[in-house]
A and B are shown apart, each in its own frame.
Chain A
Amino acid sequence: MTIKLWLEHALQDADRRGLPALRPLLEALARATSALRNADWNPDATGQFDAHAR
């Protein structure tokens, strides 16, 4: 799931549950998750982006 899609779903769910105060926290979490996914040590199934292969 992309970060964009995940965030859309999460925000909708927070609103549905009556937790609008969760919105800024989920947006901050999305930024942190994006950073996590973009880290250069993440392995990749192609093998081309495996940190140990570079």
Chain B
Amino acid sequence: MRKTYIAVTLVALVVIVTSHLMSPSSGRAVSPEDFAGACAPCGAPCPSAKK
């Protein structure tokens, strides 16, 4: 199991660093709740917004 953990940990690190370096970043970390009209932690709209 240790070998699995070493492999998973190192692959995850490479993927995170690569993804970070190759992706745009708008500045401070955001949550979907930061956006106008978000009604849930995932950013779903409020039921009233659809009516």
The finding on whether chains A and B are genuine partners in a shared complex, rather than unrelated, reads no
- Chain A residues proximal to chain B, CB less than 8 Å: none
Q: B residues engaging A (CB < 8 A)? A: none
